[in-house]
Amino acid sequence: MARLLHNLLLLTVRLTFKIRVFGYWFLIYGYCVICTGIALLKLWWNIIIRPSTTFQWTIRETPPACLNDTSLGTHCYVRIKESGLRFHYVAAGERGKPLMLFLHGFPEFWFSWRHQLREFKSEFRVVAVDMRGYGESDVPPSTDTYSLDYLLTDVKDIVEYLGYNRCFLVGHDWGGTIAWLFAIHYPEMVTKLIVLNCPHPSVFTDYTLRHPSQLLKSSYIFFFQLPRFPELMLSINDFKALKSLFTSRSTGIGRKGRWLTNEELEAYLYALSQPGNLTGALNYYRNVFSFLPLIQTEVRSPVLLLWGERDAFLEQEMAETCRLYIRNHFRLNIISGASHWLQQDQPDIVNTLIWTFLKEGEGRKNYRN
């Protein structure tokens, strides 16, 4: 009788777990269908009502001059033995100084850190990486190669290749997610963690499931799960959607800060228009649901979280909740008037806040590894 009850209880637990898993993926793909329907309606509207819509786009063959600005640093490449991938990065500052590693977000590349490369090269070896699938780094074709393990190993291998065993890690957007997770999995390699407009993964998951407003703001994540169709929607009319992402009044850079110049915008379009790069960037999202529900770990490193007040993609309330997952010193700064791209439209304020955080606690004498 006892064995029968035990087996019945075990069966009930397993069935409950399977139902929860089924419900989780049903919610995700059901929302994907809704987002796809909306995207199709928009596409139909542009084709039927506005026949000027074109499916053509231009692959930029010549990089804008701003990408070769020597004040930003030197263009370098490294081939990681374990993965076999070649990564591109821009480095400045003296070799041997403490490493400050910058991880960009979507749909950016190393260039999003141009203001910080100039600012911190005086006391750090500053390195801004093109993540796998972006810029001049290699673009693995398989979606599975953008899983959490690969992305974290990329960062670890790059730090070690540069000759360091720890770094000051700075991440924005998707780079912020990877920075959070890297600090969780490799705490001994992160001296201090600086994250811009990206909540702790557990905070994002929990908050989104409980707040329909954030679920609506994150609808693009569900749309990006589809194969090929998101690439089409982002590239038609010569990347009109991406141009709008960086320049519109609701989501763009510089409403109360520095505007993105035409040359800087062309730099982004140059990087994203290269064959395979748009798919590589979207593949990060196509793996996101496989690991976000599993992240429930605290961060041991001191953390600075900078947040743009008018972020169009994330609810500000998530920023304060991140405190629950920090075991060390935590500083949160909400930057008035700053957008999601705050290191670009408010670079002076961002740089000042980072300097303040770097000088706290340990002091400059402990910068070195």
Place of tokens 């290191």: 343
Instruction: For residue 232, count CB atoms less than 10 angstroms from its CB and return exposed for 0-12, middle for 13-18, buried for 19 or more.
Output: middle
Q: Looking at this protein, which amino acid is placed at residue 49?
A: I
Closest CA to 171 of 143, 149, 192, 150: 192
Task: List the catalytic residue out of 130, 134, 340, 345.
Answer: 340
Q: Looking at this protein, which amino acid is placed at residue 329?
A: H
Strand order in the sheet with 167-172: 74-79, 86-92, 125-129, 99-103, 167-172, 190-196, 303-308, 330-335
Task: Tell whether the torsion through CA atoms of 226, 228, 229 and 234 is positive or negative.
Answer: positive
Q: What is the distance, to the nearest Å, from the Cα of residue 57 to the centroid of all Cα atoms in its chain?
A: 25
Our answer to whether residue 340 is catalytic in this structure is yes
Structure token digits, residue 172: 């924005």
Spell out a b/e string for 136-164, using b for 16 or more CB atoms within 10 Å of the CB, else e. bbbbbeebebbbbebbbbbbebbbeebeb
DSSP code string of 155-175: HHHHHHHTT-S-EEEEEETHH
User: Any idea what DSSP says for residue 135?
Assistant: T
Task: List the catalytic residue out of 130, 138, 154, 173.
Answer: 173
Task: List the catalytic residue out of 284, 285, 325, 367.
Answer: 285
Our answer to whether residue 161 is catalytic in this structure is no
Name beta bridge partners: 88. Answer: 77
Of the CA atoms within 13 Å of residue 181, those in its CB half-sphere come to: 26
Structure token digits, residue 119: 């600012």
Q: How far apart are CA 339 and CA 251, in angstroms?
A: 7
Name the residues annotated as catalytic: 173, 285, 340
